[in-house]
Structure 1
Amino acid sequence: NRLLRHAGLLDTDVPRLHLFGAETEGKERDGASDNETKSESGVPEVPVPADDTPEVLNKALSGLSSRWKNWWVRGILTPAMISFFFIIIYLGPMVLMMIVLCIQIKCFHEIITIGYSVYHSYHLPWFRTLSWYFLLCVNYFFYGETVTDYFFTLVQREEPLRILSKYHRFISFALYLTGFCMFVLSLVKKHYRLQFYMFGWTHVTLLIVVTQSHLIIHNLFEGMIWFIVPISCVICNDIMAYMFGFFFGRTPLIKLSPKKTWEGFIGGFFATIVFGILLSYVMSGYRFFVCPVEFNNDSNSFTVDCKPSELFQLQDYGLPPVLQSITGWTIVKLYPFQIHSIALSAFASIMGPFGGFFASGFKRAFKIKDFANTIPGHGGIMDRFDCQYLMATFVNVYIASFIRGPNPSKVIQQLLALRPDQQLHIFNSLKAHLTEKGLLPLLEEAA
């Protein structure tokens, strides 16, 4: 301005005021944009939940250091939780499924609550409503698929269920599309980025929690042993790694969890392998644990009764020469499932902890110690199930890859749902195929 004035090109103050106004307006805009950027990129700290340890334990352990106090609290409450787990198993598969659903909802609630605690000051519209709506949609889709697969006869018998089953995926998509449109309509200026953050937050939570809890239920239908052994291996590894690390831990394992040590990791690995083999040996002898969970249409209830497959029948295995020289045995009797249990135990010990490391990184990102304070000394439900969800996915993939074969009963169910002309076409095709293979005359002679 001074240069222009000296040059005679700026004689009045009007342009100067205009430039000053433009400069001020620009600063205000820059300040607003900076504030908006800070508001959208800055992550407020989540309020730390209060200590929920029972007052009786607090008084009894008041003279101990925080390290030993936490050890005693965990030592007292862990057997109580294990006892509760065995009671649930005793009550049967239906109760187990309901408990899995309740745990899923609680884990979802804990993660979504963290998101709300971080961003609630912005008053994002419909955030909680849409989060729970999407949870309902996803559960409707997955549980509808499960009902169609495992309750086929019941579904075909009831007209409303048959209609819902026929158009299940279309209804599920329509429900999700409704939520999607609600989200778009809820978008508010200056909070677009935050709202899309939370949209992604909800969907990733659904992917981690709901999808994998659905896989747990699928594992349960294969036989309760596929549900109990993997979960027990994760629990055993968690306990034994903590014990070995507490008493012998010296070498840090990973920066995300400074208290995790190599001593605890290795000790937990070997303890879990031994535990998995022993638990599998005990459970393989009971039909209640090894038989698939099936729905009985006559009694309208679940039944667990079958002739155990070869996987759960004792077989002779020759020992390697090294083990023969140590033990003096040449042959041992084992259930084939015990061999598979080694793979399950190894995954629970090696890869399972990475679920915990992932959760630790998540909590460090938001500067919180636990997801919640539901269980004194243990944190929230999600703190106890961070490794279980990863394990559930592995078990489901393992069964599909190495265990499960074609299921004749399901094939027959699908054939019965076809039109009579389609059934006749399949019958004639199958008859021609068997005749060509030379199997049909043999069957007729045997008849």
Structure 2
Amino acid sequence: YFGTFVQRREQLQFLIRYHRFISFALYLAGFCMFVLSLVKKHYRLQFYMFAWTHVTLLITVTQSHLVIQNLFEGMIWFLVPISSVICNDIAAYIFGFFFGRTPLIKLSPKKTWEGFIGGGFSTVLFGFVFSYFLAQHQYFVCPVEYNSETNRFVTECEPSELFQLKKYSVPLLLQAVLGWETVNMYPFQMHSIALSTFASLIGPFGGFFASGFKRAFKIKDFADTIPGHGGIMDRFDCQYLMATFVHVYITSFIRGPNPSKVLKQLLVLQPEQQLNVYRTLKSHLVEKGILQPSLRG
């Protein structure tokens, strides 16, 4: 999407085409400067800081990049996961406070199995209901795309099948309880169960990781930005793996071929290459019976 802003300036278009190479070249320059700056008496400290820099980049830059990628798939892919993690954190605390008896993990002595299980069920239910309300609005479900005519990003589209109500049969065991044989729901709600389950089962391990990290350095919180709660990182430690999971989930089970991206790639081809693509596509459509054979040639 960086390319969208610079492609209108011809002198900057090389940044789009070679941005990966340019970024890697800058990294190599920094790497070489690091090696040249090594001092015999400070090897350990310098490599310590080098490792810290890469871990920070992995945790912050990579996660931030994936969050942005998820946002462009539709706001719902950002709001449901992040809300599920927040809900799980709150519900686990409530269940643990009132019913907690069995310690869960030594890294976090206050965490209990009762809170972990209660928070898990609450999160799945919350994600299922929350998804139903978000799926009704185009603003939340439409991918963000650039409109060259209006010169801005838009979130207007014909909602995909994921966000169109469908009728599902209620399992026999639940029919006696609910009294319903069928129910109308959005297919995305089924995916929300997977997202909420991950937020409940794996998300807390981000918090455990942060707890172990703080214990290793004998600190209580990462910062004191929020009085009584620590820093921003202390509030978002459970979000650590969520963005990566959502991105992998989308690319593995949701995302399909994007006609607009294919068209953009075709438009940058040479005229001869475009004609070859046209002839191949035309021949394929004729063979499948979509075009009339009389159109051949």
User: TM-score higher than 0.5 here?
Assistant: yes
Structure 2 equivalent of residue 398 of structure 1: 249
* Offset, 1:444: 5.7
Deviations 1:231-258 (A, max 9, x none): 0000000111111112221110001111
Structure 2 SS opposite 1:274 = helix
Determine if the alignment matches structure 1 residue 169 to structure 2 residue 24. no
Determine if the alignment matches structure 1 residue 255 to structure 2 residue 106. yes
Determine if the alignment matches structure 1 residue 147 to structure 2 residue 2. yes
Per residue, is there more helix in 1 or in 2?
A: 1
Find runs of 4+ consecutive structure 1 residues off by over 6 angstroms: none
TM-score by length of 2: 0.95
Determine if the alignment matches structure 1 residue 243 to structure 2 residue 94. yes
Match of residue 219, structure 1, among 41, 45, 70: 70
Structure 1 SS opposite 2:159 = coil
Amino acid in structure 1 at the alignment position of 2:99: F
Determine if the alignment matches structure 1 residue 314 to structure 2 residue 165. yes
Structure 2 SS opposite 1:317 = strand
Structure 2 SS opposite 1:440 = coil
Counterparts of 2:34 and 2:125, CA distance in 1: 50
Change in 2 beyond 3 A, CA 1:217/1:273 = same
Matches within 5 A, 1:22-101: none
Tell me if structure 1 keeps the 8 A contact 2:286–2:293.
no
TM-score by length of 1: 0.64
Structure 1 SS opposite 2:23 = helix
Structure number with higher relative contact order (C-alpha < 8 Å, ≥ 6 residues apart): 1
Amino acid in structure 1 at the alignment position of 2:262: V
Match of residue 277, structure 2, among 405, 413, 426: 426
Structure 2 SS opposite 1:372 = coil
* Offset, 1:440: 2.4
Counterparts of 1:370 and 1:298, CA distance in 2: 49
Structure 1: gaps (5+ residues): 1-145
Amino acid in structure 1 at the alignment position of 2:50: F
Structure 1 SS opposite 2:111 = strand
* Offset, 1:442: 7.1
Structure 2 equivalent of residue 197 of structure 1: 48
Structure 2 equivalent of residue 361 of structure 1: 212
Structure 1 equivalent of residue 230 of structure 2: 379
Q: Which has the larger radius of gyration?
A: 1
User: Percentage identity across aligned positions?
Assistant: 73
Structure 1 equivalent of residue 128 of structure 2: 277
Structure 2 SS opposite 1:157 = coil
Change in 2 beyond 3 A, CA 1:222/1:442 = farther
Deviations 1:284-335 (A, max 9, x none): 1011111111122222222111111111111111111110111111111111
Amino acid in structure 2 at the alignment position of 1:147: F
Structure 2: gaps (5+ residues): none
Aligned CA RMSD, in angstroms, stands at 1.7
Change in 2 beyond 3 A, CA 1:444/1:388 = farther
Amino acid in structure 1 at the alignment position of 2:60: V
Tell me if structure 2 keeps the 8 A contact 1:252–1:261.
yes
Counterparts of 1:156 and 1:416, CA distance in 2: 13
Tell me if structure 2 keeps the 8 A contact 1:213–1:389.
no
Counterparts of 2:287 and 2:136, CA distance in 1: 42
Structure 2 SS opposite 1:405 = coil
